[in-house]
Amino acid sequence: MERTLIIVKPDGVQRGLIGQVLSRFEARGFKLAGLKLMQIPRELAERHYAEHQGKPFYEGLVSFITSGPVVVGVVEGPGAIATVRAMMGATNPANAAPGTIRGDYAVTVSYNIIHGSDGPESAQREVGLFFNANELVDYSRVTDSWVIDQ
């Protein structure tokens, strides 16, 4: 089982897309292991985007992610990191396939609805930035045996 971080960004929250975005992961068969609505403080945003510090778009990333409330979640399941990334679609919505979150809901790179961890190391780091261990729930669902061959 893998866990990965997702963030429904301020544009997704303001456009009322939280439920539609989260329901895609649940419909696919993934579990939500953690979920919260929050306003990201600048210091946390700077740590989250630390790998981009010094790049021309860094300040815009930090300013945008702190501009309004977000929904932060941990999605869990087999191959969650790669599958969530595929479900999100290309970072540039113009290149995102229809049926992906960005392909269906986003128009520009700046306002592309969702963030997802891009690999195992970043997933572990990002989940740790936004959630304490006691905020993550490990549970079984009745439907798990119909979604995951165990």
Give pLDDT tens digits for 51-67: 999 999 999 999 999 99
The fold of the 2-38+71-138 domain, in CATH, is Alpha-Beta Plaits (3.30.70)
∠106-81-93 over CA atoms, to 5°?
15
- With cut-offs at 50, 70 and 90, classify the pLDDT of residue 25: very high
Q: Are 89 and 100 in contact, with CB atoms under 8 Å apart?
A: yes
∠30-85-24 over CA atoms, to 5°?
40
Q: What is the mean pLDDT of residues 9-19?
A: 98
The string of pLDDT tens digits covering residues 62-107 is: 999 999 999 999 999 999 999 999 999 999 999 999 999 999 999 9
Torsions phi, psi of 71, nearest 5?
-115, 120
pLDDT (0 to 100) of residue 91: 95
Q: What is the mean pLDDT of residues 123-136?
A: 98
What's the pTM? 0.95
Is 16 a residue whose pLDDT tops 80?
A: yes
Q: What is the mean pLDDT of residues 9-15?
A: 98
C-alpha span between 91 and 70 (Å, rounded): 18
By residue count, the chain amounts to: 150
**% the chain with pLDDT above 90:** 97
Q: Are 148 and 77 in contact, with CB atoms under 8 Å apart?
A: yes
Name, in order, each residue with C-beta under 8 angstroms of 140's C-beta and a sequence gap of 6 or more. Answer: none
Rounded to a whole number of angstroms, the CA Rg of the chain reads: 15
Q: What is the mean pLDDT of residues 18-32?
A: 98
CA distances from 76 to 2, 33, 136, 145 (A): 6, 6, 10, 15
Catalytic residue check, 48: no
Structure-token pair, residue 62: 């930090």
Catalytic residue among 9, 31, 102, 115: 115
Is 149 a residue whose pLDDT tops 90?
A: no
